[in-house]
Amino acid sequence: MAESDIMIVDDNPSNLKLLEDMLLQRGHGVSSFPLGRLALAAAMKNPPDLILLDINMPEMNGYEVCERLKSCGELSDVPVIFLSALNETQDKVSAFRSGAVDYISKPFQFEEVQARVATHLQLHNLQRALKLNNERLEEAVAARTHELAKANQRLTILDRSKSDFLNLISHEFRTPLNGLLGVGELILGEMPSTEENKELQRMFERSRLRILSMLDDALLLTQIDVKGEGFRSAPVSLHVALNRAIESVTKFAESRHVTLSPPSAELELVQGDEDLLVRAFHALLETAVKFSREGETVRLSRESLPDSPRVIIESHGRCIPNSALWEFFDVFSIGEAMTPGGDLGVGPALAYRIFSLFGGSVGVANRTPSGIGLTISLKRA
């Protein structure tokens, strides 16, 4: 055992000498005092690791000394072992009530004193180590909490910047863009009606619709971030919402020679806003079309779970790189190189936010041997 500082308080000089010799032989540091007030003053200056305290002493008895020690913040954790010839149960109860951790009856034996001293020194050291570890843990938690608060502040700033950027795109770009699109239409309308010029007109129209769609999606995404729970929720026919979304995507799918296979008609009500749910299904159906090969079919199926109806959209064609799966629903996460039908823009991110807004969710996975599967879980109305 490492050397410890032990204080002995006893008005009997022979007891002090005997205990000093015992403890010094075991390598402990020892300080002895015949009076309680002297021991208290010394302990305040240099707190010991353990105190051996006699009960019957002049001026101030052991109970009073122990109570004074326990009332002092710096000394309250120091273990106190009483030494006394008083062997009545009441004497021992009074000792423990005053704050002692143990009681040794006189005349004492060296082995017993040493065993009890060793035990309580070990307990005291363990308690001190535990307290130190707790303090370090609290410091680490406080530091980590501060780091997380700073990180959250940075994320809030980034999120606000993203929302401001999307808002800028959707609002400020529309006016000059309308001018450019209007001029483009006039120029194309004045060109001779050749097959080459018709293809340019078709390309212009696809680009015009794509840009306007991205602006509308960006604006709605910003509104969801800002308004959040402010959107109205009501029972919606899942069949009606799906049919409206399929109808809105059919022309796009046909232009890429992809077929949409609707699910069987079932009367099922889900929680949400019909127009927003149609927008979300539209975005995911368009995404499935872009991941499809020409001549393939995008299939829709339904699963009716007790509290969460599901819609499954499956395409046949290209898969998502594994490194990009985890960020599939992030804003502007998937680039044109990953899809045969063009970049995805904010479509998947918008769908994810809309379904989440009404207590639902959406996930994506690659299918074997090729294609993707989108699983939408909704909240039953």
3-state DSSP call for residue 378?
coil
Integer angstrom CA distances of residue 260 from 213, 285, 295, 296: 21, 9, 11, 9
Minimal CA–CA distance to 361: which of 375, 372, 345, 346? 375
Prediction pTM value: 0.53
Residue 38 reports pLDDT greater than 90:
yes
Q: State residue 170's pLDDT score.
A: 62
3-state DSSP call for residue 132?
helix
Residue 229 reports pLDDT greater than 70:
no
What amino acid occupies position 319?
C
- DSSP code of 292? B
| Average pLDDT rounded to a whole number, residues 302-329 | 87
Residue 284 reports pLDDT greater than 90:
yes
Q: State residue 169's pLDDT score.
A: 64
Strand partners, 261: 299
- Of the pLDDT bands very low, low, confident and very high (cuts 50, 70, 90), residue 166 is low
pLDDT per residue over 65-98, tens digit each?
999 999 988 888 899 999 887 777 787 888 889 9
Instruction: Locate 124 and state its tokens.
Output: 């005291």
Mean pLDDT of the chain: 85
Percentage of the chain lying above the pLDDT 70 cut: 91
Maximum distance among all Cα pairs of the chain, rounded to whole angstroms: 125
Q: Which residues contact 357 (CB under 8 A, 6 or more apart)?
A: 224, 228, 229, 231, 272, 276
| Average pLDDT rounded to a whole number, residues 162-171 | 66
Region of poorest pLDDT, from 5-14, 40-49, 79-88, 130-139: 79-88
Q: State residue 15's pLDDT score.
A: 86
- CB-CB contact of 291 with 371 (8 Å): yes
pLDDT per residue over 192-208, tens digit each?
888 888 888 888 887 88
Percentage of the chain lying above the pLDDT 90 cut: 34
